[in-house]
Structure 1
Amino acid sequence: MDHPTLPYTHIIGIDAASQKFDVSWLKDRNKHTYRSKVLENNPAGCLKLLECIRKNITTNLTTVHIIMEATGVYHELLAYFLNDQGVAVSIVNPAYIHSYAQSLGAVHKTDKGDSQIIARFGAERNPAIWQPEPKSVRELKAKLNRLDALKPDLQREDNRLHVAQISGVPDEVILSIHQIRQALTQSIADLEHDMDDHINRHPDLKNDVALLQTIACVGRETSTRMEVLYRSKQFTKASQMTAFLGL
């Protein structure tokens, strides 16, 4: 997980949440002093952080190392933004941060304290630099996530229709359910078609998915999910992916 020492002179820990992110800039590695800031977790907040960094360094952005926890999707906006700006970003498993905090005897959990622990972890452990998936994979993942959101909605409407049909509700209610079901069914079909088209327009995705479908019982949807998982995670060997899947 750790890398050899790199010339990062500015270490910043960030604890991201749905609405905000807490920033702790490690100013003194020996005394563990920090400069802290809270920004909104939106594009404007990302820009403010970048402006703050640029104002407070005399070198270029390649000397800055940002360390973040993998917090669902809350860290993604800032991580992709910083990566696009050429800033080194590490995204660390929260379990590692938790274990590290325990080793320091840090028991009082606050967002500010968490970001300080993350910064200190980054300075001491120098975690691997995050390599985001290609844009083609990122877009495919977004479509797949949307599909995963729509399918439960359709199932809920199916359940509502079943209940409505046996409970004697007005015809207008039945019609409303049918209309929502029709819209969801069409949206799901459109997304599936769009995903197929997306894969076919990117030779690397098309080749990988085709190879995966040569495996017994692996069809279109499973192969797509496997491809997105593999290309989204930084697996270096098959056993890592197997362990991630719990197999």
Structure 2
Amino acid sequence: MIYLGIDVSKLKLDCTLLLDPENDKRKSKVVLNSRDGVQELVRWCTKHGVAADQVHAVLEATGPYHEQAATTLHDGGITVSVANAANVHDFSRALAMRSKTDALDSLVLARYGVAMRPAAWQPPPAHVRELRALITQLEALSKDRLRTMNRQEKIEASAASELVERSISDTLSFYDKEIARLEKAIDDHIDRHPDLKDDTKLLSTIPGVGPKVARTMLRVMRTHQFKCAEDLAAYLGLVPVQRQSGTSLRGRSRMSKAGPADVRAKVYMAGVVASKHNPHVRALYQRLLAAGKTKMSALGACMRKVVHLCFGVLKTRQPYRPDYAFST
């Protein structure tokens, strides 16, 4: 396979085709981040004697910007890998890259592909992408509503005009209607697709996982290919990071927090609830506190446990069993 590193931005794709890694023979090109731009990129690879089925493209996950390129490349017969940004950053540091440009980033991604042989990415089905879009819009509106509520509190404490107060009140009413409409659309969408409906039911059997957390975890797990629960926890930034070297450096372990903060915030609330109402998570929480761990450290472990349980019920296709640990 010939590796193609692609640094993705909103408007363009900086690409490096690594023809001969040992002799550093490579070609570079910049194309628009559009369907036409990606098709131009495929023709450019063919021009340099590399057929589509010989190319393995490596991109970083950059929110919505990488998805069009990844999907179009995949549809064009090119193997695609979407690499974790933190892993690529660590790899770049290992290469002692002193400069950082889009062109160099694409070279790092190509070399990352050669060295790590990342797994191939598969685009999620259309109905899963639609679910993700609906949930993303719902979360955006919820954040806007919260900001407006905070602004309303400040306005009420000041000498604002009645027009301003009415404007904010009308805005909140609009958000309430749109949020209710989107929540119904999400529920209807899940009900229309048996796989999503079954997954939601399984996730909802876990004490501590409510409807919002279930939808969020469903979105994450159905739009990424995680081989194991540890990979899912690492993606969400829930794995502990230790800092220790010899006898002089013995830093306290902390959560990596490398991943989507909004999802992590929901898992945190699920961990808090589960530490009180979920038998497995509550036992873990109490055991860690008894061992002298801080409450935040114990809650971090509870968050990881919730994620493992979510992965487990979807992996086994079995609902949560409170007695499982005691029956094995």
TM-score tier, shorter chain, comes to 0.7 to 0.9
1:145 aligns with 2:136: yes
**Aligned-partner Cα distance in 1 for 2:192–2:68:** 26
Q: CA deviation at 1:118?
A: 1.3
* 1:101-180 alignment runs, 5 A limit: 101-180=92-171
C-alpha distance 243-12 of structure 1, shift in aligned 2 (>3 A)? closer
C-alpha distance 170-51 of structure 1, shift in aligned 2 (>3 A)? same
Answer with 97-106 or 167-176: which moved more.
97-106
1:20 aligns with 2:16: no
Other structure's SS at 2:30 match: strand
Q: Which of residues 54, 58, 71 in structure 2 aligns to 1:80?
A: 71
C-alpha distance 101-219 of structure 1, shift in aligned 2 (>3 A)? closer
Match of 2:30 in 1: 38
Answer with 134-143 or 43-52: which moved more.
43-52
Q: Which of residues 207, 223, 226 in structure 2 aligns to 1:216?
A: 207
Q: CA deviation at 1:238?
A: 2.8
C-alpha distance 74-239 of structure 1, shift in aligned 2 (>3 A)? same
Other structure's SS at 2:130 match: helix
Q: CA deviation at 1:206?
A: 0.1
Q: Which amino acid aligns with 2:74?
A: N
* 1:190-209 alignment runs, 5 A limit: 190-209=181-200
Q: Deviations over 1:171-203 (max 9, x none)?
A: 221222122212111111111110001100110
Q: What is the root-mean-square deviation in Å for CA atoms of aligned residues?
A: 2.0
Q: Which amino acid aligns with 2:207?
A: A
Q: Deviations over 1:18-75 (max 9, x none)?
A: 222210111223211221111222333223223323444464x211111112234332
Match of 1:4 in 2: none
Match of 1:89 in 2: 80
Answer with 147-156 or 157-166: which moved more.
157-166
C-alpha distance 243-66 of structure 1, shift in aligned 2 (>3 A)? closer
Q: Deviations over 1:125-182 (max 9, x none)?
A: 3211112222222211111111111111111222222222332322221222122212
Q: Which amino acid aligns with 2:22?
A: N
Q: CA deviation at 1:78?
A: 0.6
Other structure's SS at 1:95 match: helix
1:65 aligns with 2:70: no
Q: How many residues align?
A: 238
Q: CA deviation at 1:243?
A: 4.2
Match of 1:5 in 2: none
**Aligned-partner Cα distance in 1 for 2:79–2:5:** 12
C-alpha distance 165-66 of structure 1, shift in aligned 2 (>3 A)? same
**Aligned-partner Cα distance in 2 for 1:176–1:90:** 47
Structure 2 portions without partners, runs of 5+: 239-303, 305-328
C-alpha distance 167-46 of structure 1, shift in aligned 2 (>3 A)? same
Other structure's SS at 1:167 match: coil
Answer with 200-209 or 139-148: which moved more.
139-148
C-alpha distance 148-67 of structure 1, shift in aligned 2 (>3 A)? same
C-alpha distance 152-99 of structure 1, shift in aligned 2 (>3 A)? closer
**Aligned-partner Cα distance in 1 for 2:233–2:49:** 42
Q: CA deviation at 1:209?
A: 0.4
Other structure's SS at 1:211 match: helix
**Aligned-partner Cα distance in 1 for 2:228–2:50:** 40
C-alpha distance 160-141 of structure 1, shift in aligned 2 (>3 A)? same
Q: Deviations over 1:202-242 (max 9, x none)?
A: 10110110111112232221111111122222222233334
Q: Which has the higher contact order (CA 8 A, sep 6+)?
A: 1
